[in-house]
Amino acid sequence: MELNIIVLVKQVPDTRNVGGQAMNADGTINRAALPAVFNPEDLNALEQALLLKDKNPGSRVVVLTMGPGRAADILREALYRGADEAILLTDRAFAGADTLATSYALSMAVRRIGCFDIVLCGRQAIDGDTAQVGPQVAQMLGVPQVTCVRNIVSLDNSFAVAERSIENGVEVVKAPLPLLVTVEGTAASCRPRNAYRMLRFHRAATPTELSADGFRYTEQLQADEALCIKEWNLQDIAGDASRCGLSGSPTKVRNVENIVFKVKESKRYTAADGDLKALVAELLDNHTIG
């Protein structure tokens, strides 16, 4: 059976290695000051999509992201690994969105893509760790969801069966299509880039990139529709501006603080045997250890 699969992906600042002042005065993130990466769990989601495509030849994997122009980098990354089509949702009107406003824009873009059997996305993004966008998009699309999925066991005409992580265990869930699934990091890692696809798709570009690029690849692009990364704005998804970006976000950042911990007076020891014996003796004496 030929499936229509949509994968929601996000380019995130690499919060695993944060340095310097990466916050703006208004409490939003200065993304330009940080290395931008493919959100790790979105790669797990992409792999699940590609596995479904492997099992169901003729299926189509569309990757969708919302972000600034440079987010096209992760769309190319997805094309290298096997995605068929890429869409960048970008507009000043989307800036400053919280999860609800983000989910609204993404759900409208999914509607514009049209019919789908399954929407996949990472469980959460490493810049916010909220895990909210998947369930919010599912509710806005009016489809069921299965979150924290490690493996899609099977998928037929009308149902998917998936294993999901729960506290201290695993649950096997059967849910009808169309469906939204969020995939967690313990799921299969994403396959590497395919060399042939890299040769072909490194020229893939958005219309904006193309015009900035002096039209270097215009002819190839016109000859090969797959190299065109679509670029959609608020109008293209028939979005309501009042539900997008900062103005469509019910949550506001009141303030942001650096974390300050209370400093203690500490006793210092070296690694010499005498010091370590003294430490053990003291800890035993004052009943810190028994």
Partner 1 sequence: MDGTRVATVSLELLSEGRRLADRLGVELEAVAAGHELSSVPGQVFRYGVDKLHLFDDVRLARYTTLPQTSLLCKLVKDNAYQIFLLGATVTGRDLAPRITAELHCGLTADCTSLEIGSYEDKRSGAIIDNLLYQVRPAFGGNIVATIVNPYNRPQMATVREGVMPLRVVKDDDYVGIVIAHSVADYVSDADFVVEVLERHVKPAANNLRNAPLVVAGGYGMGSKENFDMLFELARLLHGEVGATRAAIDAGFTTHDRQIGSTGLTVRPKVYFACGISGQVQHVSGMQESGIIISINSDPDAPINAIADYVVTGKAEEIIPKLITFYQQKQ
| Span 226-255, contacts to partner 1 by CB under 8 A | 249-255
Closest distance to partner 1 from the beta carbon of 25 (Å): 12
Pick the piece of the chain touching partner 1 (CB under 8 A) from 53-61, 70-78, 143-151, 207-215. 143-151
Contact flags string 27-66 toward partner 1, x per CB under 8 A: x-x-------------------------------------
Q: Whose structure tokens read 């189509």?
A: 60
Nearer Cβ to partner 1, position 186 or 208?
Answer: 186
Pick the piece of the chain touching partner 1 (CB under 8 A) from 51-59, 88-96, 170-178, 211-219. 170-178
Of 32, 54, 130, 222, the one binding partner 1 (CB under 8 A) is: 130
Closest distance to partner 1 from the beta carbon of 271 (Å): 3
Pick the piece of the chain touching partner 1 (CB under 8 A) from 120-128, 197-205, 208-216, 226-234. 120-128
131 binds partner 1 (CB under 8 A): yes
Tokens of 9: 């992906």
Which residues are within 8 A (CB) of 26 and not within 5 positions of it... i.e. 6 or more apart? 253
CB-based burial, 176-209: b 16+ in 10 Å, e otherwise: ebbbbbbbbbebeebeebeeebeebbeebbbeeb
Tokens of 67: 């972000």
Q: Whose structure tokens read 């996305």?
A: 121
Nearer Cβ to partner 1, position 166 or 238?
Answer: 166
8 A C-beta contact, residue 114 and residue 28: no
106 binds partner 1 (CB under 8 A): no
Of 100, 113, 188, 198, the one binding partner 1 (CB under 8 A) is: 100
- Do strands 60-66 and 179-183 pair parallel, antiparallel, or not at all (unpaired)? unpaired
Please give the Cα distance from 252 to 169 (Å, whole number). 36
Q: What dihedral do alpha carbons 186, 189, 190, 195 form, nearest 10°?
A: 170
Q: What dihedral do alpha carbons 236, 239, 241, 245 form, nearest 10°?
A: -90
161 binds partner 1 (CB under 8 A): yes
Pick the piece of the chain touching partner 1 (CB under 8 A) from 74-82, 99-107, 195-203, 213-221. 99-107
173 binds partner 1 (CB under 8 A): yes
**Rg (the chain; Cα; Å):** 23
The CA-atom distances, in angstroms, between 190 and each of 18, 50, 120, 157, 183 are 24, 9, 14, 25, 12
Please give the Cα distance from 119 to 85 (Å, whole number). 14
109 binds partner 1 (CB under 8 A): no
Contact flags string 252-281 toward partner 1, x per CB under 8 A: xxxxxxxx-xxxx-xxxxxx-x-xxx-xxx
Closest distance to partner 1 from the beta carbon of 107 (Å): 8
Residues 1-30 that bind partner 1 (CB under 8 A): 13, 15-16, 18, 22-23, 27, 29
Look up residue 133 and give its amino acid.
V
Nearer Cβ to partner 1, position 69 or 176?
Answer: 176
196 binds partner 1 (CB under 8 A): no
Nearer Cβ to partner 1, position 21 or 196?
Answer: 21
Tokens of 31: 């993304």
8 A C-beta contact, residue 182 and residue 121: yes
